[in-house]
Amino acid sequence: MPRTNPNQRAAVWAIDAEHAPLYWFPRDCPRVTAWPRDVDERVEFRQRLATSALRVHVIESAWLDRVRTMRLYRYDFDASDFAPWPDASGQWTSHEVVEPVAVTAMGNLIEAHCEARIELRLVPNLWPLVDLVKSGPWDFSCVRLVNAVPPDINRQ
């Protein structure tokens, strides 16, 4: 049973290529991410997030050194071993033991964001962005917020 979701059966988790950038961070790094899924969402996304990027990823500035120095490895699996997880787009699970077909070091994660046209923002506190990304029509992910600066710090 996963520690963070005790009602979920133990599984091997995988992510598709489109959603993989959601995990270009240290394991416990709190982050807020958002991206439009179509042309209509893109207009509002660009206006409200003041960006021309395809996606926006936001971390607290205290995590920058860890993002810069971490070594992240991508594990490739045979897709036939996995089934889509219906509770989240881009996530797949297997309830069997699976072996990776390849393991690749990712390299510089900040450069990976740049090459993928993902805007990586640093903020002192994630909570104002949580409210913003949840209010839009686009897709979003808010991860490990338990590790974020408390919501009332630096808020006016």
Report the 10 Å Cβ neighbour count for 19.
18
| Domain residue spans of the chain | 12-147
pLDDT in tens, the chain (156 residues): 556 667 778 889 899 999 999 999 999 999 999 999 999 999 999 999 999 999 999 999 999 999 999 999 999 999 999 999 888 888 999 999 999 999 999 999 999 999 999 999 999 999 999 999 999 999 999 999 999 999 876 554
Cα distances (Å, whole numbers) of residue 37 to 18, 60, 138, 139: 11, 25, 6, 7
The answer, as to whether pTM is greater than 0.85, is yes
pLDDT at residue 152, rounded to an integer? 74
Please give the backbone phi and psi of residue 129, each rounded to the nearest 5 degrees, phi first.
-75, -30
